[in-house]
Structure 1
């Protein structure tokens, strides 16, 4: 069985890499938080055997990491992950501070303040309660259910559970359903924290490819029928990070195939409402069968600071979710629920704001990338980001070089299993245009460094989550 380091690296992606290139790959894993501080790495001998490289290559790679402070090495003992003390930035390099492109999230909707004020009488009426709700306020569950019904999946409030965000919803589902050692179908690439949740719940990943042009339907359905995974995790609308949308006919076929295979599909609709100019509206996956469990969130259409999401599931599963939930949390806070009730009374205002902000962000990214030779931005009709083609497997090197210019951007392999997709990079379209313009200027400088072979000093920055 491969070590966690090799699983993260991907044996194929480091095949033939020099010692310094291997050190760069490991350094990127540390800076991304995929390897944690004080985590023990494989011994030189063990890693050499796994990667089929000479021990001297591994020794040089570990030595390079130790010199920069990214690992601590004990003589005759272990090699453990570390973070170096931050160095002073080079003059003029970080004016204005770092720009973080690992978080693809917009500022709050203009209506958030007014909705908060309007929610206060409702909240005041709930002061005599614990402040939590296990399933969610009936009025909010009804509003979420109505949204599903309007979109084409008839839903009742009894089929909704309000959660503390979408990732919290995924973890509640997995805590209820997961079977350690079972297999899970996942898209490649996909949302990194969903992969981490599946891994923590003991699943073995079965990746199926997705690109900007969509899914490989034949591969996906063959994998379902051949491997019969216990669960599958899909993002069918404005897929994160590729931006693709699954057509209705493919949704129907995948749902039917999953049902035949006995696979529970966990469908993430966090990005569903992020439409700029797609030109059509798909039917929710929930409309295609009772084995489909849907996760949604307010964070992308209202504000990331609203930790409020939901689960749509058949009533028997809802009962199981509610039975399991008290084992790790009391429920969802009432304040966010009261605000969400107000916001959902005017969904058109939310989506209008989202469309305007994303269009401006997309235009800014497009203009910035047009000034970087060799990078290609695909059509991006909505969603959080552009899945940029670098034209060569340089994503990790570019991500490391970008940190030298005060830009935090996750490399393509951050969104995969096995460390692949080095020629891709996710660029959010969610930042204000002026900040995006500065970010693209810094990315252009980093790209120049990479293409000209400039050395990277690997200045230490804190690991970042990817949203």
Structure 2
């Protein structure tokens, strides 16, 4: 099996690379977080064999990285990832001059303050309790269950567990049913932190392609039946980052195929309510099989600062989740749960706010990209972002150029399992229009820099490190 470094580089990208180019590619992986500080790289000999390059080329590449502070060569031949220590100029993400497009999330709904005030009597009434909420407040579980029922899958409060966000929910599910060494099917591209969670729980990832046009249904079905992965992690509604939605007929076939393969489906519905003008509402995947595990959250429809999520699953799995949860947390904060009860009581207001904000954000991104030759923005009927086609494999180079302009812009490969999709770029449509306009100005400057063939080397790249 090949090394993780070559998996992240993409063998096709590294083929024929000079020492300088190879060093640039590895540096980009470090700056983007795809290689982590302390991670061990292959030996010079092993990497030379894997890339079919001379050992002297690898030695020079590692030497360039060492001189700039991006690797440390230790006794015994170990080479590990580091970051430069002296006079690093970071991107100050808490500074108004910096714009972070790695976070696709809106500010809070206008109703958050009033909902907080209304929630206080509910919170005060619980002062005589222990304050721990392992399963979640009954009224919040009932509200979440009611929303599932409204969308087409009858659900009771006993089938709901409240969590501290959707990612927390995913990690709890994996801690409960996970099997180290097994395979997990994932979409390519997908939510990066879900990939990290699956890796951390010991899964070997098997990708299946998704694009703005949707899923490759044949590849998905054949992969499920031939590989028979233990589980599959899917985002069927306004897929992150492509924005695609899986049609109902494909959902039905997918669930049946997964059942035949013995694969547990974990469906992430974090983006489900982010509709702008899709024109139709799909049926939840859980409607086709009660064994489907669904995770969701309030972060995209209310506010990321409200760490409220949930799991919908069979009662037997909820019981197992309750047994595992105390090993790493004792429940979800009560104040946030009380606020969520108030917010979910007025879903029309929440979804109307989301639609208005996303429509304005989408228009700002469209306007910014319209003047850039060679960049194509697809139809984006909802979701968090536009999955932009650059038409040439320069996404990482564009990301590095953006860093020099105080813009954090994750490249396409950040959303993949193997350093591919260099033609793609995720641009959030969630920022206020005026902020988006400024971000797009910096994207235009970065694009002109990349199109002009200017390369980022040495000191410039050291200044791009984000700690």
Q: Confirm or deny: 8 A CA contact 1:72 1:82 kept in the other structure.
A: yes
Q: Confirm or deny: 8 A CA contact 1:83 1:460 kept in the other structure.
A: no
* Partner of residue 461, structure 2: 458
Q: Confirm or deny: 8 A CA contact 2:89 2:465 kept in the other structure.
A: no
* Partner of residue 102, structure 2: 102
Residue-by-residue CA offset, 1:254-298 (whole Å, 9 max, x unaligned): 001101111100000000000000011000111010221000000
Instruction: Supply the distance in 1 between the matched residues of 2:55 and 2:465 (Cα, whole angstroms).
Output: 30
* Partner of residue 408, structure 1: 408
> Please, what is the CA RMSD of the aligned residues?
1.8
Instruction: Supply the distance in 2 between the matched residues of 1:43 and 1:89 (Cα, whole angstroms).
Output: 30
Cα shift at 1:61: 1.9
Structure 1 residues 76, 178: CA separation in 2 closer, same or farther (over 3 Å shift)?
A: closer
Cα shift at 1:88: 5.3
Please, what TM-score do these two structures have when normalized by structure 1? Answer: 0.95
Instruction: Supply the distance in 2 between the matched residues of 1:208 and 1:89 (Cα, whole angstroms).
Output: 36
* Partner of residue 181, structure 2: 181
* Partner of residue 237, structure 1: 237
Instruction: Supply the distance in 2 between the matched residues of 1:76 and 1:229 (Cα, whole angstroms).
Output: 38
Deviates more, 1:343-352 or 1:55-64: 55-64
Cα shift at 1:60: 2.2
* Partner of residue 366, structure 2: 366
Cα shift at 1:17: 2.5
Q: Confirm or deny: 8 A CA contact 1:190 1:415 kept in the other structure.
A: yes
Q: Confirm or deny: 8 A CA contact 1:308 1:336 kept in the other structure.
A: yes
* Partner of residue 28, structure 2: 28
Residue-by-residue CA offset, 1:197-236 (whole Å, 9 max, x unaligned): 1111111111110000000001101111111111000000
SS state at 2:208 partner? strand
Q: Confirm or deny: 8 A CA contact 1:163 1:169 kept in the other structure.
A: yes
Instruction: Supply the distance in 2 between the matched residues of 1:364 and 1:8 (Cα, whole angstroms).
Output: 32
Query: Any residues of structure 2 matched to 1:345-424 within 5 Å, and which?
Result: 345-424=345-424
Please, what TM-score do these two structures have when normalized by structure 2? Answer: 0.95
* Partner of residue 285, structure 1: 285
* Partner of residue 436, structure 1: 436
* Partner of residue 329, structure 1: 329
Instruction: Supply the distance in 2 between the matched residues of 1:129 and 1:380 (Cα, whole angstroms).
Output: 47
SS state at 2:12 partner? coil
Structure 1 residues 287, 48: CA separation in 2 closer, same or farther (over 3 Å shift)?
A: same
Q: Confirm or deny: 8 A CA contact 1:242 1:386 kept in the other structure.
A: yes
Q: Confirm or deny: 8 A CA contact 1:86 1:459 kept in the other structure.
A: no
Residue-by-residue CA offset, 1:90-119 (whole Å, 9 max, x unaligned): 9xxx99522111110100000111111111
Structure 1 residues 181, 87: CA separation in 2 closer, same or farther (over 3 Å shift)?
A: closer
* Partner of residue 300, structure 2: 300
Cα shift at 1:459: 4.0
Instruction: Supply the distance in 1 between the matched residues of 2:90 and 2:82 (Cα, whole angstroms).
Output: 20
Deviates more, 1:60-69 or 1:101-110: 60-69
* Partner of residue 275, structure 1: 275
* Partner of residue 72, structure 1: 72
Q: Confirm or deny: 8 A CA contact 1:236 1:244 kept in the other structure.
A: yes
Give yes or no for the alignment of 1:10 onto 2:13.
Answer: no
Q: Confirm or deny: 8 A CA contact 1:259 1:291 kept in the other structure.
A: no
Cα shift at 1:79: 2.1
Structure 1 residues 17, 271: CA separation in 2 closer, same or farther (over 3 Å shift)?
A: same
Instruction: Supply the distance in 2 between the matched residues of 1:348 and 1:264 (Cα, whole angstroms).
Output: 32
Q: Confirm or deny: 8 A CA contact 1:263 1:291 kept in the other structure.
A: no
SS state at 1:119 partner? helix
Deviates more, 1:310-319 or 1:65-74: 65-74
Cα shift at 1:179: 0.8
Q: Give structure 2 stretches of 5+ with no counterpart.
A: none
Q: Confirm or deny: 8 A CA contact 1:142 1:156 kept in the other structure.
A: yes
Q: Confirm or deny: 8 A CA contact 1:411 1:422 kept in the other structure.
A: yes
SS state at 2:14 partner? coil
* Partner of residue 314, structure 2: 314
- The size of the alignment, in residue pairs, is 461
Instruction: Supply the distance in 2 between the matched residues of 1:132 and 1:329 (Cα, whole angstroms).
Output: 10
Cα shift at 1:375: 0.5
* Partner of residue 427, structure 2: 427
Query: Any residues of structure 2 matched to 1:163-174 within 5 Å, and which?
Result: 163-174=163-174
Instruction: Supply the distance in 1 between the matched residues of 2:98 and 2:44 (Cα, whole angstroms).
Output: 35
Q: Confirm or deny: 8 A CA contact 1:11 1:418 kept in the other structure.
A: no
Q: Confirm or deny: 8 A CA contact 2:390 2:424 kept in the other structure.
A: yes
Instruction: Supply the distance in 1 between the matched residues of 2:304 and 2:336 (Cα, whole angstroms).
Output: 12
Cα shift at 1:394: 0.5
Give yes or no for the alignment of 1:61 onto 2:61.
Answer: yes
Cα shift at 1:20: 2.4
Instruction: Supply the distance in 2 between the matched residues of 1:115 and 1:208 (Cα, whole angstroms).
Output: 41
Instruction: Supply the distance in 2 between the matched residues of 1:89 and 1:153 (Cα, whole angstroms).
Output: 48
Instruction: Supply the distance in 2 between the matched residues of 1:177 and 1:452 (Cα, whole angstroms).
Output: 51
Deviates more, 1:285-294 or 1:452-461: 452-461
Structure 1 residues 68, 97: CA separation in 2 closer, same or farther (over 3 Å shift)?
A: farther
SS state at 2:22 partner? helix
Cα shift at 1:76: 5.9
Deviates more, 1:234-243 or 1:396-405: 396-405
Q: Give structure 1 stretches of 5+ with no counterpart.
A: none
Instruction: Supply the distance in 2 between the matched residues of 1:367 and 1:129 (Cα, whole angstroms).
Output: 53
